[in-house]
Structure 1
Amino acid sequence: MSGEAAAASAGTEPVREGSKFDEARLERWLQETVEDFEGPLTVEQFRGGQSNPTFKLTTPGRLYVMRRKPPGATVPGAHAVDREACVMGALGTVGFPVARVYGVCTDDDVLGSWFYVMELIDGRIEWDSRLPGMSQADRAAHFDAMNGAIAALHRIDPLTIGLDDFGKAGNYFERQIARWSRQYLADADAGRDEAMDRLIQRLPSRVIADEAPRIVHGDFRCDNLIFAPDAPTVRAVLDWELSTLGHPLADFAYNAMVYRLPENIISGLAGEDLVMLGLPSEREYLEAYCEKVGRAPLAAQDWAFCIAFNLFRLAAIYHGIKGRMIRGNAASLHAQQRADNFPVLTRMALSILDGD
């Protein structure tokens, strides 16, 4: 993400026209639901985020964050704010860095769509993967902390925290390819793409071996982490909408995909001088993860599939953003850019499958 794009994603602004709701009704719900809540309430909207609109709730004594399913027509199965709240609540019991959830509302009559409210964690969000303004040593330490956080997530046995039914066990890649294919094909507003159609045909034949399911975040990257204000420590992992049980390598490959992407797609590092920046190479980053989780080194062909799968999956997400933009209920200011990058991702995925 460029400095300009990062600035556009950071901070808050007045609630955007398409995201407005009855703030007085929210305040009444908070008074009834959240222990020790005291108004008056002020609401602002965070600029970042693609799928579920996110709001800063300010009272004289405390700050909160609200994540809300977007109003209007949505794709079935998407925007699962209740699942976000569920997984964060479970992970918090074993000390994994997540925000405390204060309440969940699944009554559309309150605000028009489901939402939940959580604590606001003090710290930094690094929107740019290049980590501008840091020394080489600090950049390396932040990447190691990010690597360590996702490895810690994948070391947790879902059964031990009551999440053994959080998703289906087994055949994760096959199910995910089928899911995102269905969502892509169902969104007629956003149209079809020849490369995406070819990926839907080819990916199932390249699936790697299954293994014991772990909790997968689904969107693990630096701008979904809150770092401590003055240290390379992950204080909270945000945005659990896509979380489920699945193959940990799918989750890690999404995190590492930043090495393959151009700068204008989720702050990609392609073409950057990693040595000058003080960042590990993709191979070094993968090896560090394997060591942290106790995994044997990965075959190049298997890693290529994991990256291609994630490019396909991200393309499907961008296709959904394109559809929401056409329907007028996209949550992000960057919806047009995401829609424009959809075909870029599908062609990159095909290239990797072909070994280029």
Structure 2
Amino acid sequence: MANRTYDLLGQVQTAHQFDHDSLFRYASVHVPGFPSPAASTFTVKQFGHGQSNPTFLLEVGNGGSVKRYVLRKKPPGKLLQSAHAVDREYQVLRALGEHTEVPVPKVFCWCMDASVIGTDFYIMEFLEGRIFMDPKLPGLAPERREAIYRETAKVLAALHSVDVDAIGLGKYGRRDNYCKRQVERWTKQYIASTGDNRYPSNPKMLELAHWLQQHIPSEDSSGEGIVHGDFRIDNVVFHPIEDRVIGILDWELSTLGNQMTDVAYSCLAYIVDINHENQQVGKGFELTRIPEGIPSQAEYLAEYCAASVKNPL
């Protein structure tokens, strides 16, 4: 079954607390239609699902009505270089929202003034809908499973078909050697994260980094469009009752480059079953048994190709 977007909320973690009054004053000036502090109640809750950039629901009560917004910010403390770039998230969301039909949340403001809540942040609309945490879609009828997977493929194709130069994202990232640069960045970030005795280094990770460096695809420089970087079924919001995507979330890793990486990553559940609760990895459902209704990986890719302007595989 799906989680409603409300279901993923909890109390704000101690490490992520910030000055609510300061935020309220800022938002009432910079967010169109945001109620004034004098006539409103204000509550903040934190989303708990997979947020490397802390994400919060803002609820503003005013005269019996409630308006909802989402705030996404950098985490506090020392950060890895190039990580947690909320400014880039805001940039790509604004460009897509203003110039394309790709479903994304509407963004309202981006703040670089650390005196407001301690870090950079941006505020966007709250999307009330469904997020499917389990790619096997348990509890759904077969025809709904099929519709959801086909819709996901079409939305990814729509994103990949965007002309980045036409919407002002032509310099959003380098367009060549995407996989090579990603592996180099991940390796550097892993090594940096194990420094100062924060985490023990795992030799297997360094072996993996070396293997990846030796197996960069020869067509690595062919991609010239937007890469989401984390496109999977639990990073899209579906309409509350219709099987259509109303928003793609979590743009922290987005850039320009080889779009086949998005396609491959969106197929991960077919090959690998990741149980985050038990920290275990098993075979994906293409290698065991595909739940009734879910298209095969070949059918999913065919749906993507049929909808793609730039990448007919």
Query: Could you state the TM-score of these two structures normalised by the residue count of structure 2?
Result: 0.87
Contact 1:129–1:268 (CA<8 Å) still a contact in 2? no
Residue pair 1:130, 1:277 contacting (<8 A) in 2 also: no
1:100 maps to which of 99, 106, 109? 106
Does residue 245 (structure 1) correspond to residue 256 (structure 2)? The answer is yes
| Post-superposition offset of 1:19 | 1.1
Cα offset, 1:296, TM superposition: 5.1
Question: Do the aligned residues in 2 keep the contact of 1:10 with 1:47 (CA within 8 Å)?
Answer: no
1:119-154: CA deviation from partner (whole Å, max 9, x where unpaired): 011211111112122111110100000111111111
1:280 correspondence with 2:285: no
Are residues 1:126 and 2:132 paired?
yes
1:214 paired to 2:231: no
Residue 165 (structure 1) aligned with residue 171 (structure 2): yes
Secondary structure at the counterpart of residue 140 of structure 1: helix
Secondary structure of the structure 2 residue equivalent to 1:62: strand
DSSP-derived class of the 1:175 partner:
helix
Match of 1:292 in 2: 307
Matched, 1:203 2:217: no
What does residue 58 of structure 1 align with? 59
Q: For residues 232 and 292 of structure 2, what CA distance do their matches in structure 1 show?
A: 18
Once the 2 structures are TM-superposed, how far is the Cα of residue 17 of structure 1 from its aligned partner? 1.1
SS class of match (2:28)? helix
Q: Decide whether the 8 Å contact of 1:69 with 1:80 is kept in 2.
A: yes
What TM-score comes out, normalization by structure 1 length? 0.77
One-letter amino acid of the structure 2 residue matched with residue 270 of structure 1 = G
| 2:74 is the alignment partner of 1:69 | yes
Partners of 1:11 and 1:51 in 2: CA distance:
15
Give the superposition deviation at 1:278: 1.4
Task: Give the aligned partner of residue 22 of structure 2.
Answer: 25
Do the aligned partners of 1:258 and 1:268 also contact (CA within 8 Å) in 2?
Answer: no
In structure 1, what is the Cα distance between the partners aligned to 2:188 and 2:299?
A: 35
Indicate conservation of the 8 Å contact 1:98/1:235, yes or no: yes
Could you tell me how far 1:176 is from its partner in structure 2? 0.8
AA matched with 1:42: T
Root-mean-square deviation over aligned CA pairs: 2.3
**Pairing of 1:252-331 with structure 2 (within 5 A):** 252-265=263-276, 270-271=284-285, 272-274=288-290, 276-293=291-308, 295=311, 297=313
Q: Which aligned pairs between 1:343-354 and structure 2 lie closer than 5 A?
A: none
- 2:120 aligned with 1:114, yes or no? yes
Q: Does 1:192 align with 2:204?
A: no
Change (3 A) 1:198 1:239: same
CA contact (8 A) 1:158 1:164 kept: yes
Match of 1:330 in 2: none
Gaps of 5+ in 2: none
- Asked whether 1:233 is paired with 2:244, we answer yes
CA distance in 2 between counterparts of 1:59 and 1:85 reads: 22
Q: 1:10 to 1:253 in 2, by over 3 A?
A: farther
> In structure 1, what is the equivalent of residue 184 of structure 2?
178
Task: Give the corresponding residue for 1:145.
Answer: 151
CA contact (8 A) 1:130 1:269 kept: no
Secondary structure of the equivalent of 2:139? coil
Cα offset for 1:49? 2.4
Count of aligned residue pairs for this structure pair = 293
Q: Distance in 1 between matches of 2:237 and 2:51?
A: 17
Identity %: 39
C-alpha distance in 1, partners of 2:13/2:127? 23
In structure 2, do the counterparts of structure 1 residues 49 and 122 end up closer, same or farther at CA, with 3 Å as the change threshold?
Answer: same
Equivalents in 1 of 2:93, 2:12: separation in Å?
A: 25
CA offset at residue 41 of structure 1?
1.5
SS of residue paired to 2:93: helix
| Higher fraction of strand | 2
Deviation (angstroms), 1:268: 8.0
CA distance in 2, matches of 1:161, 1:238: 19
Aligned to 1:80: 85
Higher helix proportion (structure 1 or 2):
1
Q: Name the counterpart of 2:47.
A: 46
* Residue ranges of structure 1 left out of the alignment (5+ in a row): 298-356
